[in-house]
Structure 1
Amino acid sequence: MSTSIVQIPFHSTSINAVMHEGKPFISLRHMCESLGIDIESQRKKLNDKAWATAVLITATGSDGKTYPMTMIDRRTMTMWLATIDVNRIKEESRELLINFQNEAADVLDQHFSGAVAQAFDPATLTRLDILRMAMESETRVHQLETKIEADAGKVAYVDEHVDPKDVTLFRTVCRNLQINESDLRKALIYRRWIYVSNTYIMGDYTVKEYAAHHNFQAYFKVCKYHNKKTGSVTNRETLKVTPEGVAAITRFVEKLTKEYGSVRDALPHLEIKYNHRKGIAA
């Protein structure tokens, strides 16, 4: 499950933003590219700041493809902009940074001045206030348009095996996060989120079915396997991911990537800890 990017014009550039858990988040990479600064150094700097909130969000770009992106909330953007030295960036980007910082300074000044009575006066709105409202409005419109378009093209499939909740195939989650399906499944097993619940032979293949451990059942939903080619529902079961699970897995992948570089690089470390808990000698 991904979120569509909304582009908000701002001075000589635009801000790539999404709505996530009811709050607007801004693309850190796009901001860095606009200012001509290195994203990796800025990402590391934000990781060390107690006031910073950075999350990995799977978003759909203008090309229709989905990408995992590091996004920061408005509060983080305001503080982060104030930490960038104008003299350390390229000359052609300085005017934009100065504009950003002036708007950020206005937001901080408005907050600490205690001008609560003026909060609803349009004359006192800063550009970042207008940005926030435009971002929220554009995102809501886009979400409604997307839902209407999707609903119009649906063919109803109703039987006792259809899960009424908004669940996602495990392979779809992996594809959106650009992670090998086998790697993520192993990582979740080693962390004891899921386990192999059943194994059987189907022709020349060994088929495994999975279930969630008790503490993680809110993240997954066991559903009957629906054969799209024949239109039939078999006795096989498949493990789908709930919206809460998608968010949790995204955070889990981000954590592993920060610690080990990638999910695949994390697997040997996770396996050692997993075997240690099970009492298996390395």
Structure 2
Amino acid sequence: MNTITTSAALTMSSRDIAELTGKRHADVMRDIRSMMDALQQNAELRSVCFSSTYVGENEQSYPQYELDKDTSLTLLLGYDPVARMKVVKRWQELEALQPAPAQLTRMDILKLAMESEQARIQAETQLALAAPKAEYVDRYVAANGSLGFRQVAKLLNAKEPEFRAFLEDSKILYRLAGVLTPYQNHIEAGRFSIKTGVNQVNEHAFAHARFTPKGVQWIAGLWSQHQVRLKQSGEVTA
């Protein structure tokens, strides 16, 4: 038998039907075409019939049809009772091979409900923490330019030591000669601009990193996510 199972429906091929009924495959395909011409006049019937191919003994590909149960049984109405019974029995065998739907216990249902509720609470918490900051940051980015470390910390209402540790732990900034310096990949991504110059007092060269508007918006999102994770783990006290 050459049965095919798809994600949409369990099907039986026209070759299977021909073999079970003792008819020529060409005749079965002709009967299917004739039946589908009639059925397609009424789209509400939702009959399933589509073309596929099979490989013959000569390694050549040939056409066949795939029919769902209702459509194949409708085809059999014009065949003799023995042929119909053979196909019906074959359908019973195919359906018996289908995996039975999983039976959920009451505890399984409660567990799924709790997981769903927990996911909802986490999503709402994240939105609640991020939304006010995101709105304020968006307004700032639309109207202003780059910012230094302390300005961004103030914008996000973040304590400087915690914000600095977060940037260092996240491999965003590192200390170079005591100065917070962005990693090159973040500079190339356009999240920072580097202001260079010479100190007029001691003539020492300096380089200061500043968050670009793009970088401010980006770090605001990361900082909000970081705060949510801390809150969920119970590390945020206020």
Structure with greater Cα Rg: 2
Higher strand share: 1
TM-score by length of 1: 0.31
